[in-house]
Amino acid sequence: MNLIIDVGNSFVKLAVFSGIELIDKRVVLLKDIEKEIEVLKNVYVSLENAIVSAVGKLEKKVIKAISKSVKVFVLDSNTRMPFKNLYATPKTLGVDRIALVCASISHFPEKNVLIIDAGTCVTYDFVNRNNEYLGGAISPGINMRYKALNSFTAKLPLLDKEMPGTIVGNSTETSIHSGVVFGFLNEIEGVIECYKEKYPDLTVILTGGDTKFLSKQLKSSIFANPNFLLEGLNYILQFNSNE
């Protein structure tokens, strides 16, 4: 069994895989990570290997503590990958984006794939049918857009995300919802269309924390998979365990 430790900007996701099957997933605070891993270790006694992917801060002493329970593999830009990285600055490519590319290769081999990860930021990552990663884009996520309107203006309120009923906002609050949500959706649709002009057979994956909120609103044909990154990390761990 494999333990996946995905340290994000806000929370830590812990997942247990038996082979390629996800059998447990938990979202915890960073301060609780060691305690929760001990709980998982007691429940799944055959846990042996773990992979750590950290876009947020994870201290070395925590990794050392985790290593007492399981064999830990830390993902970084030097990790052996099943794709050719053509990014101009490969050392700066986030481990989350690396994992998403690996998941796309695992699920959609020899396909042109655009992965859209809608979380704190929204990232767009493209891998072609030759297993070559070409790059993509990074943009503010939907919650970041709400926060920006509040932080950089004097009077606009901070709102929780909400699907607007109409494009025409008739109050400050509904105007914010319309601008943020429809602007975000139109950005995603526009990026997809730009890629499809060059790659008509494009496969599109939507993942990340806002998958459920966005998936039913997009007009483009997509595969929605909120666990795509976790599956990619599991694939990387298996890929390197077989080295």
CA-CA distance, 76 to 52, in Å (whole number)? 9
Active site residue 210: no
CA-CA distance, 193 to 10, in Å (whole number)? 31
pLDDT digits (tens, 9 = 90+) for 59-95: 788 888 888 888 889 998 889 999 999 999 999 999 9
9 confidence band (pLDDT: 50, 70, 90): low
Q: Is the pLDDT of residue 242 over 80?
A: no
Amino acid at 151: S
Q: Minimal CA–CA distance to 73: which of 242, 243, 231, 240? A: 240
Q: Is the pLDDT of residue 243 over 70?
A: no
Determine the pLDDT at residue 34: 87
209 confidence band (pLDDT: 50, 70, 90): confident
Catalytically annotated residue among 32, 76, 96, 160:
96
Which H/E stretch holds residue 192? Answer: helix 183-198
Q: What percent of the chain has pLDDT over 70?
A: 98
Domains in the chain, start-ordered, CATH in brackets? 2-74 (3.30.420.40), 84-233 (3.30.420.40)
- Between the alpha carbon of residue 238 and those of residues 16, 28, 52, 201, the distances in Å are 13, 24, 13, 29
